[in-house]
């Protein structure tokens, strides 16, 4: 058994099962009417069923989101938040921000002790780590604004999966094995996910009656079924008793934001992605703008010159990402400046083709490895509407606490704020004041749900988990398709590289570099660190299995579930 990336950081022992072998691509899944790709087959099937019954891509995405909350508790959620990028068949687009917010009682130094030192685990574990959840508001907003089917219909698959349960496959069970010691510390979580204090075996049926009742309340009352009434009262009670800050007023005040997506052009394609409070779209576009000035296809993705340029571009882009972006309701984000041609040229000019430009040695962040407990799904319908959703609890199983009798796992998204400037977070990200904690503020994210078009036609829907590696994962899928002519499956499976400024390390997946190229990079000053695979991109390519390969047999949509995630599935019809 190979553990999914979501588990590989959960316990050290899991690393053995994570393997270092390069992921192997299978052929893209072809279909002519619609396609859903998600991290769990049962959720994918819930979405495809909605499409078959005449629902549009937004309806299907809502059904997938609720189903993931049941069958993929490591990251799917009601108690977290996320972003939805929509590209409608008429060419218009929309972006929904349902990121968690800091509770009203949150303060900038809330995770620091009297000496100003971060208190271990205070921002990552337990009720105090949780932001006010946004997922239910986001899914309900999407359904009401852009969907065609009623809530009870879209929630029905999730309710059935929760109340009747589903049989745990080996890879489902492995997630619970990895998280069991932490889940055991919370009686509400242990009662749901553990059997006699230990993880259930594969083949067991996971029934989540409390979660089913909460889903039913949402099906009856919409978002009010979660943000008001008995569910909200129970979340607030559990938070109070658990030392958290989420009050009933915080839940009542939660608001989805519709924002203008970020967009940019790359070699004749248009990329539409997530604006702040995600750093995803801005950093992705900054990277694409810088890389457009280099002949990537000619250099060849396996050359030292290529890897050096891409890594240096990532280093420079992450300086901007980590220091200058935050919740646009609280700080002014220099998006226009960062995405200008002049800025791309400036950064390009800072890249020395022969040597690294070392990141400042102002501190030595710990490499905490990847912490990819986020999930992405991509949906396209018959009419050509496309939806990209990335949603998260932040860490695996979030804060590892369930909100009382609601059955809802809570996020630990507060750790995405700058707990203290200069101190690395769960992802090793060293961030600045723009992302400081404030009441009602949304923590800076890296989630990058993205849609790509060309000449007004839909081309690609893509996204991934992976913390900051989300951005570089999405970047590499796009570049693999556009510059290297890969099939969508190969573009998703191809081994990746990642640099995030600090730590000053070039991370590479096994199989990405030959020994010769790794040595050549070290000679230029890179600290190259090879590790296990990361991310779990879920993509739909439109028109052919590759951009350069026309479709046959009338197929229009080509889905690729990342082979790094053993439970994921692309299903079309
Ligand atoms: N919690 C991961 C992210 O939003 O980037």
504: left (phi over 0), alpha (psi -120 to 50) or beta: beta
The closest-lying atom of ligand 1 relative to the alpha carbon of residue 413 is 1
Stretch 318-339: mean pLDDT, rounded? 93
For residue 11, is pLDDT > 90?
no
Q: Note the pLDDT of residue 132.
A: 99
For residue 6, is pLDDT > 70?
no
Tell me which residue of 421, 472, 142, 429 sits closest to 280, measured CA to CA.
Answer: 472
For residue 18, is pLDDT > 80?
no
Residue 431: which pLDDT band, with cuts at 50, 70 and 90?
A: confident
Stretch 241-251: mean pLDDT, rounded? 98
Percent of the chain as helix, strand, coil, to the nearest 5: 35, 20, 45
One of 374, 448, 472, 473 is an active-site residue; which one?
374
Q: Note the pLDDT of residue 372.
A: 55
456: left (phi over 0), alpha (psi -120 to 50) or beta: left
Query: Ligand 1 within 6 A of 374 CB?
Result: yes
The percentage of residues in the chain with a pLDDT greater than 70, rounded to a whole number, is: 94
Q: Note the pLDDT of residue 432.
A: 78
Residue whose Cα lies nearest atom 4 of ligand 1: it is 445
pLDDT digits (tens, 9 = 90+) for 74-84: 999 999 999 99
Report the alpha-carbon distance of residue 432 to residue 323 in Å, rounded.
5
Mean pLDDT of the chain: 93
Q: Note the pLDDT of residue 73.
A: 98
Residue 433: which pLDDT band, with cuts at 50, 70 and 90?
A: confident
> How buried is residue 120: exposed, middle or buried, by Cβ count under 10 Å (0-12/13-18/19+)?
exposed
Q: Note the pLDDT of residue 323.
A: 84
Stretch 489-502: mean pLDDT, rounded? 96
Query: What is the whole-number distance in angstroms between the Cα of residue 124 and the centre of ligand 1?
Result: 13
The token duo for 531 is 């590790």
What is the full DSSP assignment across 370-407? ----EEEEEEE-TT--EEEEEEE-SSTTTTS-B-GGG-
Q: Note the pLDDT of residue 17.
A: 41
Q: Note the pLDDT of residue 341.
A: 97
Residue 87 contacts residue 458 (beta carbons within 8 Å): yes
Query: Ligand 1 within 6 A of 123 CB?
Result: no
Mutational pocket test of ligand 1: of 445, 472, 536, the residue with most ligand atoms within 8 Å of the beta carbon: 445
Tell me which residue of 158, 123, 32, 85 sits closest to 552, measured CA to CA.
Answer: 32
Q: Does the annotation mark 516 as catalytic?
A: no
For residue 476, is pLDDT > 80?
yes
Query: What does each C-alpha distance from 498 to 115, 308, 364, 471 come to in angstroms?
Result: 34, 11, 18, 9
For residue 3, is pLDDT > 90?
no
Mutational pocket test of ligand 1: of 326, 389, 394, the residue with most ligand atoms within 8 Å of the beta carbon: 394
For residue 13, is pLDDT > 80?
no
Query: What is the whole-number distance in angstroms between the Cα of residue 549 and the centre of ligand 1?
Result: 34
For residue 327, is pLDDT > 90?
yes
Q: Note the pLDDT of residue 365.
A: 38
Q: Note the pLDDT of residue 360.
A: 66
Residue whose Cα lies nearest atom 3 of ligand 1: it is 445
Query: What is the whole-number distance in angstroms between the Cα of residue 468 and the centre of ligand 1?
Result: 7
**Quick one: DSSP state of residue 54?**
T
pLDDT digits (tens, 9 = 90+) for 342-387: 999 999 999 999 999 887 654 333 334 434 579 999 999 999 999 9
Tell me which residue of 19, 520, 531, 566 sits closest to 304, measured CA to CA.
Answer: 520
Stretch 511-528: mean pLDDT, rounded? 97
Residue whose Cα lies nearest atom 1 of ligand 1: it is 394
Query: What is the whole-number distance in angstroms between the Cα of residue 568 and the centre of ligand 1?
Result: 20
For residue 97, is pLDDT > 60?
yes
Query: Ligand 1 within 6 A of 445 CB?
Result: yes
**Quick one: DSSP state of residue 195?**
B
Q: Note the pLDDT of residue 359.
A: 76
Stretch 94-122: mean pLDDT, rounded? 96
Query: What is the whole-number distance in angstroms between the Cα of residue 391 and the centre of ligand 1?
Result: 8
The percentage of residues in the chain with a pLDDT greater than 90, rounded to a whole number, is: 86
Q: Which of 16-20, 65-69, 205-209, 289-293 has the lowest mean pLDDT?
A: 16-20
Q: ∠ CA 480-425-407 to the nearest 5 degrees?
A: 90
């Amino acid at each position: 058994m190979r553990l999914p990336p979501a588990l590989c950081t959960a316990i050290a022992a899991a690393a053995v099962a994570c393997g270092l072998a390069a992921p192997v691509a299978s052929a893209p899944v072809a279909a002519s009417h619609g396609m859903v790709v998600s991290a769990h087959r049962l959720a994918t099937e819930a979405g495809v069923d909605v499409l078959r019954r005449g629902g549009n891509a937004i309806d299907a995405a809502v059904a997938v989101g609720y189903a993931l909350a049941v069958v993929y508790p490591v990251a799917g959620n009601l108690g977290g938040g996320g972003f939805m990028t929509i590209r409608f068949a008429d060419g218009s687009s929309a972006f929904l921000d349902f990121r968690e917010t800091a509770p009203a009682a949150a303060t900038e130094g809330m995770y620091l002790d009297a000496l100003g030192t971060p208190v271990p685990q205070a921002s990552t574990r337990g009720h105090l780590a949780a932001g006010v959840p946004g997922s239910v508001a986001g899914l309900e907003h999407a359904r009401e604004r852009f969907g065609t089917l009623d809530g009870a219909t879209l929630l029905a698959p999730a309710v059935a999966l929760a109340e009747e349960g589903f049989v745990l496959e080996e890879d489902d069970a492995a997630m619970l094995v990895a998280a069991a010691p932490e889940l055991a510390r919370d009686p509400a979580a242990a009662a749901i996910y553990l059997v006699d204090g230990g993880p259930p075996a594969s083949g067991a049926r996971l029934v989540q009656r409390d979660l089913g009742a909460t889903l039913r309340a949402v099906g009856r009352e919409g978002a009010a079924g979660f943000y008001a009434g008995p569910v909200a009262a129970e979340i607030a009670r559990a938070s109070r008793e658990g030392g958290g800050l989420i009050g009933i007023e915080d839940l009542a005040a939660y608001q989805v934001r519709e924002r203008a997506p970020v967009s940019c052009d790359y070699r004749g394609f248009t990329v539409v992605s997530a604006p702040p409070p995600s750093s995803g779209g801005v950093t992705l576009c900054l990277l694409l703008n810088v890389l457009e000035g280099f002949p990537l296809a000619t250099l060849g993705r396996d050359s030292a010159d290529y890897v050096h340029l891409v890594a240096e571009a990532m280093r420079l882009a992450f300086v901007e990402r980590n220091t200058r972006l935050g919740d646009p309701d609280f700080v002014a984000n220099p998006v226009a400046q960062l995405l200008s041609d002049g800025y791309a040229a400036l950064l390009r000019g800072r890249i020395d083709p022969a040597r690294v430009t070392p990141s400042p040695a102002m501190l030595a962040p710990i490499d905490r490895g990847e912490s990819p407990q986020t999930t992405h799904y991509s949906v396209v319908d018959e009419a050509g509407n496309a939806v990209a959703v990335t949603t998260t609890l932040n860490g695996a199983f979030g804060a590892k606490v369930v909100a009382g009798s609601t059955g809802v796992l809570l996020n630990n998204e507060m750790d995405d704020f700058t707990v203290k400037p200069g101190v690395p977070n769960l992802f090793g990200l060293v961030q600045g004041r723009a992302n400081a904690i404030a009441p009602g503020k949304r923590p800076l994210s890296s989630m990058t749900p993205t849609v790509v078009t060309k000449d007004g036609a839909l081309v690609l829907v893509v996204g991934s988990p992976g913390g900051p590696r989300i951005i570089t994962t999405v970047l590499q899928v796009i570049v693999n398709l556009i510059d290297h002519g890969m099939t969508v499956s190969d573009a998703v499976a191809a081994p990746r590289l990642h640099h995030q400024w600090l730590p000053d390390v070039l991370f590479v997946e096994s199989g990405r570099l030959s020994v010769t190229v790794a040595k050549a990079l070290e000679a230029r000053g890179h600290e190259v660190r090879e590790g296990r695979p990361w991310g779990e991109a879920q993509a739909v390519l439109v028109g052919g299995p590759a951009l350069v390969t026309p479709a046959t047999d009338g197929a229009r949509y080509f889905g690729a579930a990342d082979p790094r995630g053993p439970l994921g599935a692309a299903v079309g019809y």
